[in-house]
Amino acid sequence: MVLAESYEHHVAVLPSPGMGHIVPLLELSKRLVVHHGFHVSFLNITTEASPAQTDLLHSPSLPLGLHVIDLPPADVSSLVNEEMLVLHRLGVIVEESLRCLKSVLIQLGKPKALIIDLFCTQGFDVGKQLSIPVYTFFTPSAAFCAFTLYHPTMDREVEGEFIDLLEPVQVPGCFPVRTEDLLDQIRNRKNDEYRYYFGHVRRLCEAAGIFLNSWEDLEPVPLKAIRENPFYQKISTPPVYPMGPLIKEHEPLTKIDVECLAWLDEQPPDSVLFIVLGSGGTLSSQQLTEFAWGLELSQQRFIWVVRKPTDATASGTFFNVGGDVNDPRAYLPEGFVERTRGVGLVVPSWASQVAFLRHPSTGGFLSHCGWNSSLESITYGVPMIAWPLYAEQRMNATMLAEEVGVAVKPVKGNGKTVIDREEIERVVRLLMEGEQGKAMRSKAKKLQESATNALNTGGSSCDPLSRVAKQWKDLPAPM
């Protein structure tokens, strides 16, 4: 392990596993190095790390001054199994992997600050022991941050299950949250996943500050609420710093990526629907079949990054993203690939999302509405079809559709377990050729401009990071 005692301005960054956490914290680290002259020790939890995570963090393109520290893998073989829910399993991995955190930070020369994500709150304890200020990078939306800050009050005041509430959750100063949109992790307060989740989120106010991957024009209502509503002042909410959109700007292109981009070059502007359900998302066998038929019936151009279906869980590839590549013909409807040749492309398992979203021929994005993907879509001015799968994605989908105005949500028919092909055809046509789709595309383009302005010098996201960076530089050297 390389010591960092010789670096005048040194901070450590600690994400939990999962690309939705790794990517924004890595982008923040790059900005601290490139724009603010910091040395960053990026602490990588290697236990059960996905191939995509490993490849990203060991890329030769990382800037000088950003040093990835691989934490020793922990033996969790007797503690986790394939039947565990994602967050419970993640919690065990993080807990076991961070037993070495204190000694690692000492070896690194005690950095001036430690930045953690929501599921690494063990960092608060170590920070107190070493007199290192600890900040939380809250990777979801500002709206979800407001909900999370309110969650301990809900836990204390609500009897029974949140999902059984007769009215939407009234988050102070924010838009109400419908019970059907509540994230999976809080739907059953009796299981281990809730215990792990709540154990982390209840500590959010212990942070010296909360970094948000958002910007003023995108989420003015929740940002104002967190800053000004008396409830958040009463619970001693730390200062919040919107710093977004922090998204992956570049990634290596595969041979298939290059071929798809060449095909995109030949298509009209805004004419292609890009379809990918995040780094860990999968569909059931029945839903995959309905989706394929609906897409074919729509007769719209598309690029579909498709994965083998699983009926077990919608987060089927969370711990294996980038590792499983297979032949889509084995599970897509017979003849689908042949019938749609020339209209669309089918890509197995993985693609360079940013490269496709920024291409001028991409006119729509069917997304799981993970916050990273949502920000990438908005940053490149692409409206969405919202197809949430797990975690807080239903809340994101509703916000993007009803409050921001850049997405449309398919409707599942009464009593149906899947979204049928006719509804899929309807929303694809609506987005790609309807007046509502044009209005959403116009709104997305305006937000694209504001996102750029937010990150520029003097922008609403540039200034908060500059202020915090100055505070860190003014701190005395660790003892």
Catalytic residues: 21, 117
Cβ neighbours of residue 392 closer than 8 Å, sequence gap 6 or more = 140, 141, 144, 183, 371
Strand partners, 210: 136, 240
Cα-based angle 264, 268, 270 (whole degrees, multiple of 5) = 85
Give, in degrees to the nearest 5, the angle at Cα 289 between 288 and 292.
Answer: 85
Looking up tokens 């077990």 gives 312
- Residue 204 · residue 138 · CB < 8 Å: yes
Query: What is the Cβ-side half-sphere exposure of residue 53, based on CA atoms within 13 angstroms?
Result: 27
How many beta carbons lie within 10 A of that of residue 409, not counting itself?
19
Please give the C-alpha separations between residue 222 and each of 255, 312, 451, in angstroms, as whole numbers.
Answer: 42, 35, 17
Distance separating alpha carbons of residues 25 and 135, to the nearest angstrom: 12
Nearest C-alpha neighbor of 9 from the set 34, 35, 32, 38: 38
**Nearest residue to 300 (alpha-carbon basis) of 342, 262, 272:** 272
Closest-CA residue to 135 (of 147, 149, 148, 121)? 121
